[in-house]
Structure formats: C-alpha cells, structure tokens
Chains A and B, each alone.
Chain A
C-alpha cells in the first residue's frame, strides 16, 4: 500500500525541475532533456492513478506518451544538429531568425 500523495509529490518535483530547466538553460539539448523530465512526471501520475483506480487505461496512455517522446527527441535532435551545422551555436537565445 502506497499513499497516492507521495507519488503526486514526486511527480510535482520532477515537473517543476523540468520547468526550471526549460526556462533557465541556454543549450537546446539541455532544454530537450528538461522536457523529457516533464513528460516523465506526467507518466508517474498516469501510472499512479491507473493503479489507484484499478484501470489499465492509464498505463496504455503512458506507453503512448513514451512513444511520442521518443519521436519528439529524434526530430528535436535532428533540428538541433541542423541548426548547429548552419549557425555554429545551439544556444536558444542566439537563434532568433524568426524574431523581428
């Protein structure tokens, strides 16, 4: 028996450190890593509520989140490498081509 708020607090800590990483990091790869942290926080919540409610749907959706995260990392890193090849930097505050 595990208390549900324990799992929810763990996921809250993971999510808010992911928010800090996305806002404070300049390196685009580090920003992607922080996004993974936030997706993991969501997955912890899905699994905890799935076992709390004895409904397997939460685990199905956790699997979908993992698959979408894998696709997101693949595309994201391809874009980051392309930006690095063209601009010699992956600092997100120096890539401002679309900013007027």
Chain B
C-alpha cells in the first residue's frame, strides 16, 4: 500500500464511522456535527484524489454553508432529544433495507473490479482543465444551474417569510 492509500483509508474510515454515528445519534446537534466530520473527510478524500478544486468547493459549500443552514433549521424548529423522539417505528426494517443495499453494492463492486487490478493514478493540477471543460463544453448546463440557484433562492425567501396580509 502506498502512502496515498493509507491516507485515503484513514479518511474513509473516519468518514464512514461518523456517517454511521450521524444517522444513529440521539441528539440532533450532535448529528449535525458528525455530518461536519463526514463532509470534511469527504473533502479530504477529494484532496487525496487530487481533485483540489472540488475539494475546496466541498469545504466552502458543504461545511461552510449547508451545515450552517441545517443548524439554523434545527434551531428554528424545536428539535426533540432521544431515540424514541427522533426515530420512527420502522427502525429494524430500515436497518434491513440499508444492509441489503450495502451488501448488494459490495457484491457488485467486488464482482466488477478485482481488488488489485484497477488503480487510480491521480492527475495533479486538473483545475485548469476543469475550468476549460466547464466553460467550453458545459456552459449551457452551468447557466441552467445558476438559474436554478436563483430560483431556489427566491423560492426559499417567498416560502419562509411571514405573510401579514389577510
């Protein structure tokens, strides 16, 4: 195993454990903080894979903005504490389904890719190529996404403001 692979394995392990802790946490604020750890570890995985632009976008957008939005959402809605208040009655069924999904994915992955054969050799400095591809081939989807963000912004403001008129 190379040093990159050790770093990847450590980041992936911490990220997986905190993802599992996030969906089983009894306190909603703790769950949000576990989400921060998972998202930061995913950002670190992007850095190890040498996708530095996506890694910093992940840190800025997810850890910086989306988690803050979640914390605001948790504070504005009275969040209960305790497993019974947070989980519904189908916990065993949910565990069964998610384990089935995990087993299916693991089977398909080890069926499709041998453990030793396909190696990722990260190309460094992909940001220039990323920008060129984004603004040359994918400029129309890029504009569509910016329009979507504008529409979502206006929609969120319209939905959540108090309407005093009768």
**Interface residues, chain A, CB within 8 Å of chain B?**
1-10, 12-21, 23-27, 29-30, 32-34, 36-37, 40, 43-44, 47-48, 50-52, 54, 56-57, 59-60, 62-64, 66-75, 77-82, 84, 90, 92-93
Contacts and interface: CB of A to CB of B under 8 A. Distances in A.
A6 to B, nearest CB: 6
A72 B119 CA distance: 34
For the residues of B in contact with A, the DSSP-based class is helix
Contacts, number: 252
Interface of B: 2, 4-5, 8-9, 12, 15-16, 19-20, 22-23, 28, 31-32, 35, 38-39, 42, 45-46, 48-51, 53-54, 57-58, 61-62, 65-66, 69-70, 72-74, 76-80, 85-88, 90-91, 93-95, 97-99, 101-102, 105-106, 109-110, 113, 115-116, 118-123, 126, 129-130, 133-134, 138, 141, 145, 148-149, 151-153, 155-157, 159-160
Given A6-B12, A51-B49, A36 B66 contact: yes
Contacts of B74: 29
A68 B160 CA distance: 20
Nearest to A46: B54
A33 B72 contact: no
A34 B24 CA distance: 11
Find the residue from A16, A66, A70, A71 having the highest chain B CB count within 10 A: A16
Contacts of B101: 15-16, 19
Given A9-B109, A75-B155, A2 B133 contact: no
